[in-house]
Amino acid sequence: MNTPHTLGIAPARLNSDELAENFTDLHAPLNAHEAAVAADRCYFCHDAPCITACPTDIDIPLFIRQIATGTPDAAAKTIFDMNILGGMCARVCPTEDLCEQACVREMAEGKPVEIGRLQRFATDTVMAKDVMPYTRAQATGNKVAVIGAGPAGLACAHRLALLGHEVTVYDAQPKAGGLNEYGIAAYKSTDDFAAREVEWLCSIGGIEIKNDMALGAKLKIDDLVGCFSAVFLAVGLGGVNALSVDGDDKDGVEDAVAFIETLRQASDLAALPVGRNVVVIGGGMTAVDAAVQSKLLGADNVTIAYRRGRDAMSASRYEQDLAASHGVKLMFNVQPKAIHGNGAATEIELEYTATKDGALTGTGEAIRLPADQVFRAIGQTLTTDAGLKLNGRKIAVTGAGQTSRKGVWAGGDCASGGDDLTVTAVAEGRDAAMDIHKTLTGDV
């Protein structure tokens, strides 16, 4: 983060006790009795729409029935069979837009079965026992490289290891986990859960993780293709789009993803500087996470400024309401025009927007807001394409992640075709692993 300056960015706006309270678990875990009561609300639909709505195709009625009958270990196995990162997905997945939105209870009563919290109850039960409920198949003799230790890469690595392959995972960061470790709000994943989940996942054996190894100078795709039977790219989106307005380079203006990463790795939240008047530019989950956490760190005024209307925001309505409940102001149909200040940001100038003939345009009318800290959260970009064919701004894939180069697969945020969700990345990593296995062994 930038060095604190006298215009408002400062650490310790709240004391340690206040910060600890602010960054507790967003949703408290269910106990056994609460889980039984919640599970009893499920209709156990034969043609359950919640399964169709789940990107990883978890048999949701089955695992809920298993909880209802007092067998949470079996429920966890049902979840992990389809989503080995089911513990994290239970915490961060937008269930309100996916499985819970499709729940028959939601449509009939406006209150769905708490699928996400039930999934967390089951997966946490098994992970607390520190037991991996899978045994590796006989060794195939194949070695596969996975580039990126985020959700897609980890899901791919686990499934390949399960099938008997040796997997080496290379990751650019000092710690594995990808966005689960570095990129989501701290109140969604507490108690170092991301790191614990990686350790548990790797306990199946056959997975070696090498950190501080980014694809590029140290790690070349040609060398990997020559040394491994197959390569899976899950490098995510490491670049951040610029605001491209006057003042974008002033002190106090930074990327929201960098702010979230710094916060997630901080050992002392009181040491983190935050502005008095924070403005976040963007309309996605990153924007909401940056805004809410700024407020939780003690910022006086936090505003999310989005260029289109509320319905166009990629952040769910639930996340929008969460931000508002923490005192974050949401402004719609405004775009940054300039950031003002003598060396450091003091104000942001926003221009109102309108849609004419299907195109977004500025109206010429503007407003200024106090802003000593401005976060960019307007999308991320691919930092390396490894010489592969692109589809727009992402790596082009067909089928289960096959790229334009033989022996190379891709999945997760770096690949075309999916939405940028943890659960989708897990599904793509899992499916690519199955396709790699089929290609290498002929075994379906």
The owner of tokens 């010489």 is 387
User: Domain of 273: which CATH number?
Assistant: 3.50.50.60
Give the number of domains in the chain: 3
Q: In terms of domains, do 291 and 335 share one? A: yes
The owner of tokens 């790219």 is 233
- The residue that leads in pLDDT, 4 or 261, is 261
The stretch 345-372 carries a mean pLDDT of: 96
Q: Residue 316: which region, alpha, beta or left (left: phi > 0; alpha: psi -120 to 50)?
A: beta
SS3 292: helix
Q: Is the pLDDT of residue 23 over 70?
A: yes
Token couple for 404: 């334009």
The stretch 206-219 carries a mean pLDDT of: 93
What pLDDT, on a 0 to 100 scale, did the predictor assign at position 217? Answer: 78
Residue 135 included in any domain: no
246-275, pLDDT tens digit by residue?
Answer: 999 999 999 999 999 999 999 999 999 999
What pLDDT, on a 0 to 100 scale, did the predictor assign at position 361? Answer: 95
Q: In terms of domains, do 387 and 262 share one? A: no
What pLDDT, on a 0 to 100 scale, did the predictor assign at position 218? Answer: 80
Residue 263 included in any domain: yes
Q: In terms of domains, do 254 and 205 share one? A: no
Read off the pLDDT band of 8 (50, 70, 90).
confident
Q: In terms of domains, do 260 and 233 share one? A: no
Residue 3 included in any domain: no
What pLDDT, on a 0 to 100 scale, did the predictor assign at position 6? Answer: 43
The model carries a pTM of 0.95
The stretch 54-70 carries a mean pLDDT of: 98
Read off the pLDDT band of 1 (50, 70, 90).
very low
Q: In terms of domains, do 260 and 320 share one? A: yes
106-160, pLDDT tens digit by residue?
Answer: 989 999 999 999 999 999 999 999 999 999 999 999 999 999 999 999 999 999 9
Token couple for 186: 């701290």
What pLDDT, on a 0 to 100 scale, did the predictor assign at position 211? Answer: 97
Residue 133 included in any domain: no
Residue 335 included in any domain: yes
**Close Cβ partners of 165 (under 8 Å, ≥ 6 residues apart):** 140, 142, 143, 144, 206, 229, 436, 437, 440
Q: Is the pLDDT of residue 100 over 50?
A: yes
Helices and strands in the chain, H and E counts: 17, 17
Q: In terms of domains, do 366 and 265 share one? A: yes
What pLDDT, on a 0 to 100 scale, did the predictor assign at position 5? Answer: 43
Q: In terms of domains, do 353 and 369 share one? A: yes
Q: What phi and psi, each to the nearest 5 degrees, are found at residue 60?
A: -65, -50
Contact (CB, 8 A) for 333 and 354: yes
The stretch 74-89 carries a mean pLDDT of: 98
- Start-to-end CA span in the chain (Å): 48
300-349, pLDDT tens digit by residue?
Answer: 999 999 999 999 999 999 999 999 999 999 999 999 999 999 999 999 99
Token couple for 357: 């003939």
179-203, pLDDT tens digit by residue?
Answer: 999 999 999 999 999 999 999 999 9
Contact (CB, 8 A) for 272 and 266: yes
Residue 134 included in any domain: no
Q: What percentage of the chain carries pLDDT values higher than 70?
A: 98
Read off the pLDDT band of 443 (50, 70, 90).
confident
User: Domain of 39: which CATH number?
Assistant: 1.10.1060.10
Give the strand order in the sheet containing 359-370: 334-340, 347-356, 359-370
Q: In terms of domains, do 191 and 264 share one? A: no
Cα separation, 375 vs 27, in Å, equals 26
What pLDDT, on a 0 to 100 scale, did the predictor assign at position 61? Answer: 98
**Close Cβ partners of 78 (under 8 Å, ≥ 6 residues apart):** 58, 59, 62, 63, 66
Out of 127, 159, 189, a domain closes at 127
Residue 276 included in any domain: yes
Read off the pLDDT band of 401 (50, 70, 90).
very high
The stretch 292-303 carries a mean pLDDT of: 98
Burial 197-221 (b: 16+ CB within 10 A, else e): bbebbbebebbebeeebbbeeebeb
Q: In terms of domains, do 277 and 402 share one? A: no
Q: What percentage of the chain carries pLDDT values higher than 90?
A: 94
Out of 102, 127, 152, a domain closes at 127
Out of 127, 156, 190, a domain closes at 127
Pick from 244, 262, 254, 310: which is nearest to 279 by CA?
254
Q: In terms of domains, do 289 and 406 share one? A: no
Q: In terms of domains, do 222 and 326 share one? A: no
* Contacts by 27-35, CB closer than 8 A, 24 or more apart: 27/91, 27/116, 27/117, 27/120, 29/117, 29/120, 29/121, 29/124, 30/114, 30/117, 30/118, 30/120, 30/121, 32/72, 32/121, 35/67, 35/72, 35/117, 35/118, 35/121
Average pLDDT of every residue of the chain: 95
Q: Is the pLDDT of residue 418 over 90?
A: no
What range defines the domain where residue 100 resides?
Answer: 32-127
What pLDDT, on a 0 to 100 scale, did the predictor assign at position 39? Answer: 98
**Close Cβ partners of 353 (under 8 Å, ≥ 6 residues apart):** 307, 308, 333, 334, 335, 360, 361, 362, 363
Q: In terms of domains, do 247 and 226 share one? A: no
Within its chain, how far is the Cα of 123 from the centroid? 18
The length of the chain is: 444
Residue 340 included in any domain: yes
Contact (CB, 8 A) for 113 and 105: yes
